[in-house]
Structure 1
Amino acid sequence: MATFPRIFVFLFLFFFSAALQFSQSLGANEGPYKELMSYGFPLGLLPTGVSSYTINRTSGVFSLHLGESCRVTLPPDNYLATYSPTITGKIVENRIAELQGISVRAFFKWWGITGIRSSGQDLVFEVGVVTAKYPSKNFDRSPDCEGRRSASS
């Protein structure tokens, strides 16, 4: 059962990290990726193309807007992850909780990622009470959404 949570964590981290790197290269749209990194997370947890975001610095409640759903296939195991047009949650230093809008397909079923913790070296993805741990370096780059052209292309 430990393989199941690791798959979810890997997928979520890969997508989020990729999104942050892409945003940093965009200049005007780097806000959400810089925010993510300021809380101790790699930018590749988010896909490229975040159109807007809001964050309450007191409560940590955030909302990210992609404009449309996003689908990403994560190498090397080709796990499929989807991002809803809007992703919400609560972020504090090294912790994202109450996460909604990111799902990973594993064992022929879709699983919603509910939280992420960062130790700097590793990310721990939460799917309910089940967790999976992946190296943060796996999320150094933001993935492009399948079927959507990257702004850097």
Structure 2
Amino acid sequence: MSSTVALPATSDCKAATVYDILQEFNLPIGLLPDCAVDCKLDRGKGKLEVHLKGSCHFSLQEPYELKYKSTVSGHISGNKLTNLKGVSVKFMFFWVNIVEVVRNGDDLQFSVGMTTASFPVDIFTVCPRGGCGVDCKDGKLRKIKAKSLVSSA
């Protein structure tokens, strides 16, 4: 059962958490770590800004590692987060910014610009444990396998 959270045009997210907002826009809560301390949502512009307790780093199945800055922002609308800032993925030897997350049915497509990776949405039903900082040794979340990796050249 899905519920809609009614918020004013601009909200400081005290009545509803950022996780409620993600669900309202049909996105899983596991896109963000569990250490969000506050957020701001401008519904008119779709601008979302989330503040975490600190930066977080998670190891996923090789070759993926995720890193969150203490502030994550972007534009939210139905089934997608665009213009994303503050989240990067380590691919091969390089850290690249994730710029877009789009839900397409039961899959989430993560875009870093020229390349996208597709993951099952159900592996993002639980928030990664946050607040451990970039040097966290036990921040390993779980092994996640990409369904596909597509270059959009």
Residue 49 of structure 2 corresponds to residue 63 of structure 1: yes
Identity of aligned residues (%): 31
Which whole-Å CA distance do the structure 2 matches of 1:133 and 1:29 have between them?
32
Distance 1:135 1:59, change over 3 A: same
Q: Which has the larger radius of gyration?
A: 2
Structure 1 or 2: more helix by fraction: 1
Correspondence for 2:3: none
Over aligned residue pairs, what C-alpha RMSD do you find?
2.1
- The runs of 4+ residues in structure 1 deviating greater than 4 Å are none
Q: Counterparts in 2 of 1:107-146, with a 5 A limit?
A: 107-145=92-130
Distance 1:67 1:147, change over 3 A: closer
Which of 45, 63, 72 matches 2:58? 72
Which whole-Å CA distance do the structure 1 matches of 2:43 and 2:21 have between them?
10
- How many angstroms does 1:147 deviate by? 3.2
Correspondence for 1:104: 89
Q: Deviations over 1:107-138 (max 9, x none)?
A: 11101100010123111111013211111011
- Unaligned residue ranges in structure 2 (runs of 5+): 1-13, 137-153
Correspondence for 1:39: 25
Correspondence for 1:84: 69
In the superposition, the TM-score normalised over structure 1's length comes to 0.72
Distance 1:88 1:111, change over 3 A: same
Which whole-Å CA distance do the structure 2 matches of 1:112 and 1:128 have between them?
8
In the superposition, the TM-score normalised over structure 2's length comes to 0.72
